[in-house]
A and B are shown apart, each in its own frame.
Chain A
Amino acid sequence: MTEISSQTPPPPLAETRPLYWSVRRELWENRSIYLAPLIVAAVVLFATSFSTIGLAKRMRNLPTLDPAKRHASIAMPFSMAPAPIMLATFLVGFFYCLDALYGERRDRSILFWKSLPVSDRTTVVSKAAIPFVVLPLIAYLLSIVTQFILLMMGNMALLGHAMNPAPLWDEVRFFQGLLIMLYGLIVHVLWFAPIYAWLLLVSAWARRTPVLWAVLPLLAVSAVEKIAFGTVYFTHMLRYRLIGAMTEAFVGHPKGANGDISRLSQLDPGRFLNAPGLWVGLIFAALFLAAAVRLRRNREPI
């Protein structure tokens, strides 16, 4: 085949430029990616700020408390603040992924996107970047800011009562918390990777109601296994995928209990990296994403 020279040499364009703009495009289209966590953070901030009212009294009573309960009494409202924010970003990620490759076919805009020099791989990667990179970053930053504002409020309340705020910072361990949160987020992104990838695959494939196609087959396999063989391996596998990150990545985490993680010594990256569940999950995530790229190539509006 003869190579045809263009009228003008194509201007140099970095490979990452279409990816960068595609991620921005996702943020233009889906403002809930940052609005929903922002609203949740505001609500958390508002609700938790009331706990600073009684903070001075609790600090004063601290020496009379059982030492085991001291930490919880002071740190609880502060250390729990990030949880709803992170939960919100996981939920946003769930619904975002289900619509990511489905919505563009439903509103026919896929015909416009495909007319541009952005490959299917770049498109799928840009959409996967939302739950894998953007949402965890948003969750992390918002959690830090929320927690910091709460601590400053507590700080002010204690100073207002002419009390030393240092014990508050000691109990909450803000800076250790930054590392623990970062670790927790990375661990969960890696662990949930096959879930997000599965949702993206279903959204590339389904002709209608992707949410049902994403969930019902899994429930059906569980039910069939239970009825036909009387076993629950598949159900256990799903459960493990949902909560496994906590049990594999942290030590001393009582299964299913609402354990408090506030010390760096509770992190166990070695065990996490050795968990076969992590690597099997990542392999499935890669397969699902590759399948989503292939599917998008052939997809037409619905």
Chain B
Amino acid sequence: MACIDAHGLRKSYGSTVALDGIDLRVDEGRILGLIGPNGAGKSTALNAILGLTPYQGELNVLGRNPWIERDQITRDVAFIADVAVLPRWIRVSQVLDYMAGVHPRFDRARAEGFLAKTNVKRSSKVRELSKGMVTQLHLAVVMAIDARLLVLDEPTLGLDILVRKQFYDSLLNDYFDRSRTIVVTTHQVEEIQDVLTDVMFINHGRIVFACSMEDFEARYAEVMVNPENVAAARALRPIHERQVFGRSIFLFDQADRQQLAAMGEVRTPGIADLFVAIMGQGAAQ
């Protein structure tokens, strides 16, 4: 069952092409990480999915056209565009009142339950809360929505590592239940590697790489090689090579694990390292 289904999704601002014909399918129950440099088209893609921007091409979200049927899908789609968008004048109790007033799928008791585990006071205004507390508030509100698709666009930008960790932990433990779908973009790729079920790299408005995390772990291997084995490792055609503390680290795609193990310690690479390798290939071509 496809939650998001796109064919030839295009979007340009004047002469700048933000999305250059994207094909994309996200099944229900997946957690997709959309990774790419600034200006690669991530936010544009998310905005199209959320019905915030018109586009060319074919796009279905929960079986609907998000631009034309935006008012219908907003009940089933929740999103955090970044956590710094809660209005500063609003009180915590007013956020809850308003959500309960306008959102048919908002469970106030659930939000109160999440907030009870934090130091966020009901009578505080958002401007009086620390960045971390605003994040906790926003997350408590969004996680209390019984949504089918949750879109997170750089949700942890500007937050310290402790808050970022908490954010993803509670998202996984308290929210994700395998029937919901989550799409997330972030620059802190390493932190969400264990969270994702799928990963997609986007650059210059195109999807340059897509795979599930199971395939990712099966396909890619990283080996830290001692100097005497470097020539042998290069012979196995690594897709990337970098130096750390005088030792070489090679990244292989679909290499024989036994051969690799003979040269050094074999690990699953970080998404960020694969990203660098793949983007590097693109630049070399």
Contact = CB atoms under 8 A, between A and B. Distances in A.
Interface of A: 1-4, 6-8, 10-11, 13, 17-18, 20-22, 24-25, 28-29, 104, 107-112, 114-119, 298, 300-301
Contacts of A17: 101-102
A111 B79 CA distance: 9
B14 interface: no
B80 interface: yes
Contact of A21 (B50, B85, B102): B102
B62 interface: yes
B143 to A, nearest CB: 13
A298 B104 CA distance: 25
B105 A10 contact: yes
B63 A13 contact: no
Contacts of A301: 85
Nearest to B106: A116
Nearest to A109: B87
Give the dominant DSSP class at B's interface.
loop
A10 B76 CA distance: 9
B89 A29 contact: yes
B85 A117 contact: no
Contacts of B80: 115
A20 B101 contact: yes
11 contacts: A10-B104, A17-B101, A18-B102, A28-B91, A107-B88, A109-B85, A109-B86, A112-B87, A117-B104, A119-B70, A298-B54
Given A2-B63, A7-B148, A28-B94, A111 B102 contact: no
Interface in B135-150: 146, 148
Contacts of B52: 114, 300
A108 B88 CA distance: 10
Contacts of A110: 85
A116 B104 contact: no
B25 interface: no
B74 interface: yes
Nearest to B142: A115
Contacts of B85: 108-112, 301
Given A3-B63, A6-B148, A21-B98, A29 B87 contact: yes
A91 B274 CA distance: 59
B90 interface: yes
Contact of B75 (A10, A25, A29): A10
B90 A29 contact: yes
Contacts of B75: 10, 117
Contacts of A4: 62-63
Interface string B71-82: 100111011111
B208 interface: no
Contacts of B74: 115-118
B62 A115 contact: no
B178 interface: no
Contacts of B62: 4
B99 interface: yes
A115 B81 contact: yes
B63 A1 contact: yes
B84 interface: yes
A6 to B, nearest CB: 7
Contacts of B146: 7-8
B56 interface: no
B71 A107 contact: no
B179 interface: yes
B24 to A, nearest CB: 18
A116 B85 CA distance: 13
Nearest to A1: B63
Contacts of B103: 116-117
A29 B91 CA distance: 10
A137 B99 CA distance: 27
B128 to A, nearest CB: 15
A18 B104 CA distance: 10
A107 B89 CA distance: 10
Nearest to B102: A18
Given A25-B98, A117-B71, A107 B87 contact: yes
A17 to B, nearest CB: 6
Contacts of A24: 97-98, 101
B39 to A, nearest CB: 15
Contacts of B179: 7
Given A8-B146, A108-B84, A115 B79 contact: yes
A17 B102 CA distance: 6
A21 B99 CA distance: 9
A158 to B, nearest CB: 47
A111 B153 CA distance: 11
